[in-house]
Each structure stands twice: as C-alpha cells, then as structure tokens.
Amino acid sequence: MITVALPSREVADALGDPGPGARVIVWNPAESDAPEDERDRITIACLPHWTGGRRVFGRLAACPGLELIQIASAGYEHAEPFVPPGVALANARGVHDTRVAEMTLLLALASQRRLPAFLDAQRRGVWEPDLEAPSLADSRALIVGYGSIAEAIAVRLRASEVHVEGVARTARTAPDGTVVHAVADLAAILPGFDLVIVVVPHTDATDRLVDARFLAAMRDDALLVNVGRGKVVDTDALVAELASGRLRAALDVTDPEPLPEDHPLWSLPNCIVVPHVAGVERLTNRRYTDVVRRQIEARVRGDEPVNVVVKGAFPA
C-alpha cells in the first residue's frame, strides 16, 4: 500500500478514490512537517503552486519512504536544486497547456487590436476609433520553444488564420506538421514574423535569450509575447525598444517578478503586463488530478512515473 500526500482536502476530494493499492492523506509541506504517524509511509508528495525552497524540501527529505515529488508547474528550475537524493521529481507538463494557450491568444489579440487603448478611452468616456489596428488574421507567428504548450497555442492561432512556425534546439517538423527551426537560426528568421511568442523555460541556455540583438532582428511594430519565464528576456533591452516605439510587448512574466510599482514596463503604452497567471490551473481541476492519478497507477504497477524531470530510484 502506497501513501500519497495531497496539499489540501479539496484536492483529495477532487481526486476521489485513488484505487487499489493506494491511500491518500492531506499534508502541505509548505505549512508543516509531515505528520509523525505518516512520515515513514509517504510515497508520493504533491506540492501546491508557488511552493519550494530549502525548508519545504527539507521537510520532504525527512520522509524516508518518499519516492516522487509532484510539483504543480511545468517549470521546475525552482525545485530541481533541492530534490533529495534518490527521489524523483515530476512536473505538470500538459496540465497547463490550454490555459497558457488561451492567455497567449488573449494577449496577442488585445495588443493587435489595441484593446488597452479602447479600455482607456472607455474609462475617460471618449469615442476614439482606431481604424488602422492590425488584424491577427494573415499575420505570421514564431513560437520559440516548440513543445506541448506551443502546440496548443498553434492550434488557436491557426484557428485565427495565423501562419505559425516554431523554434527548438534543432530543426525538425513537429508532429502537428509545424516547421520548426533551429535556435541557432533565430537571428536570420526573426525579421519574417509579426508575432514572436516565447514559451521556453529558464535555463543557462535560455538566460537572456531575448537580448538586444534578438529584439533588433524583429521587424518594426512586431509583437513579443512572453508566457515562458521572465529571465529569458533582457528587460533593459526590451524597455529600450518599447520606449522607442519600434516594438510592442505582451508579458505574462517579467524580470524582476513581481514587477516593482515604479518599473517602466507598467507605463509604456505599447506594453501589456499581466501578473504571471497564464498557466495557473486549479489543483482541483481534472487536468491536474489526472496527472496525480497516473502517478499513482504507475507506482502501483511498478512503472516509471510520468513527466519525470529529475530521475530518482523509482520504482522501489
């Protein structure tokens, strides 16, 4: 019998019966040490959003039978350095695809059709038509980081009659038929796109990937949408381009984050900022509980867990 720790009663209720060979307890390691009578039995620990750090992972390390930590995000750079030896770490790949894709489409449409200016005019009670705002249809979009989230974004963009291509480490044709370019070719291909959408995680390889040279290669009045990680973009270089009026941006993530109240990104008229909410899925929703159930089933069968990003000693 394995024991699965879920961070709240609501998540446990949403999961329901874990099936034969498993039992569920409620424990949030961000709030307390593991219950003494359960510490030796916990096999899988599921963390809530925005959870990490030495204290939390120290509490996890105190569970001798722990085999797998399930985090709630696709990004895992905040958790990877703290994973106890021999314990596997799984991310929530696939859980957030739809929500991130929805926000990406919203940000692109809002910027293309100048929605912030119309909302401002509404607040002022002024009729200010803009008949020159570009349509999303017939534009060309480049998605940097072509994985499952990018595929979900591409579906929605193509429904809006957008031509979509991608970028990854190596050139290929994606399973959905998308032409994917090598990241080494970015400077050469950027001028051919109206929208550049950044979905990559933050790693040593992607740190400040969107730098002054990258931005300079984008065509005039192009839109940069970042739904990946803030540190992938050189903020100072982006502010300089936005202040000149040459480019536009729509950002779900920023560097620094949270964005200080006096930061220039707040006030630039060609920039939309939302507070890192694109991919936050309720842990009581089916997409998350489905991943947890798959982890339970894999452990009961003795199979490898799904979405492993740090390999441990699983299965025991």
Average pLDDT over every residue of 56-74: 96
Look at residue 315 in the predicted model and tell me its pLDDT: 55
Q: Which two tokens stand for residue 219?
A: 């065509």
Look at residue 148 in the predicted model and tell me its pLDDT: 93
Q: Which residues are catalytic?
A: 229, 257, 276
What mean pLDDT is reported for the chain?
96
Q: What percent of the chain lies above the pLDDT cut of 70? A: 99
Q: Which two tokens stand for residue 245?
A: 């009026």
Residue 89: helix, strand or coil by DSSP?
Answer: strand
Chain segment 99-118, per-residue pLDDT in tens: 999 999 999 999 999 999 99
Is there a contact between 9 and 23 (Cβ–Cβ < 8 Å)? Answer: no
- Residue 281 in this model has a pLDDT that exceeds 90: no
> Residue 314: pLDDT band by 50, 70, 90 thresholds?
low
- Residue 312 in this model has a pLDDT that exceeds 90: no
> Residue 50: pLDDT band by 50, 70, 90 thresholds?
confident
Chain mean position to CA 177: 23
Chain mean position to CA 51: 15
> Residue 53: pLDDT band by 50, 70, 90 thresholds?
very high
Chain segment 18-44, per-residue pLDDT in tens: 999 999 999 999 999 999 999 999 999
Chain segment 251-267, per-residue pLDDT in tens: 999 999 999 999 999 99
Cα angle for residues 132, 133, 136 (degrees, 5° grid) = 135
- Residue 298 in this model has a pLDDT that exceeds 70: yes
Look at residue 75 in the predicted model and tell me its pLDDT: 87
All structural domains of the chain, each given as residue ranges with its CATH number in brackets, are: 2-95+281-310 (3.40.50.720), 97-273 (3.40.50.720)
> Residue 313: pLDDT band by 50, 70, 90 thresholds?
confident
- Residue 78 in this model has a pLDDT that exceeds 60: yes
Pairing verdict, β 2-6 and 22-26: parallel
Residues forming a β-bridge with 89: 69, 310
- Residue 271 in this model has a pLDDT that exceeds 70: yes
Maximum distance among all alpha carbons in the chain? 67
